[in-house]
Amino acid sequence: MKVRDILKNKGPEVYTIGDEKQLRDAVEILTRNNIGVLIVISDNAKIEGIISERDILKACYHNPDSFLDIRVKDCMTTKLLIAEPDDDIDYVQKIMTENRIRHLPVLHNKILVGLISIGDVVKAQLSDKMYENKYLMDYISGNVR
């Protein structure tokens, strides 16, 4: 199974925020949409990074009285790992696990086409394994011709 298969089921919707916005804006978008990350873009729509709940929590810890006023670009993660639509989900899962990240932007020809989470990957793998197990059970029982 490929990343493109996950995006086909999930859809291409990705929430973004401008790099000059404040954390209060990021918290509002995350909370309103019940999501864990935002892709950070510059004024010219270039991907600058990603901001997660973890990034915001670190900012809160270091600036407990004023963290909501901090600009997104001052606490976002800038070293992005990305996936491509043709990446195998086993590869993507390994990258996410080894780097302890829960979300990967998906780019095709340097254009953002989606965002996948570790939950999306696990769900896709589970579905794939359930289908495979059903097929094998049917084969063993003689129901497959």
Say what the pLDDT of residue 143 is.
Answer: 72
Say what the pLDDT of residue 72 is.
Answer: 97
Mean pLDDT of 44-71: 94
CA torsion angle 40 15 51 59 (round to 10)? 110
Confidence of residue 45 (pLDDT cuts 50, 70, 90): confident
Which has more pLDDT, 38 or 10? 38
Mean pLDDT of 61-74: 95
Rounded to an integer, what distance in angstroms lies between the CA atom of residue 35 and that of residue 66? 23
Mean pLDDT of all residues belonging to the chain: 90
CATH H superfamily, domain 3-141: CBS-domain (3.10.580.10)
The ranges assigned to domains in the chain are 3-141
Question: What is the DSSP pairing of strand 103-108 with strand 47-52?
Answer: unpaired
Say what the pLDDT of residue 43 is.
Answer: 87
Structure tokens at 71: 């600009």
H helix or E strand, kind and range, residue 126 = helix 118-141
Helix, strand or coil, per DSSP, at residue 22? strand
Asked whether 38 and 16 are in contact (CB, 8 A), the reply is yes
Q: Could you give the count of Cα atoms lying within 13 Å of 137 in the half-sphere of its Cβ?
A: 6
Helix, strand or coil, per DSSP, at residue 102? coil
Rounded to an integer, what distance in angstroms lies between the CA atom of residue 99 and that of residue 77? 13
Mean pLDDT of 49-72: 95
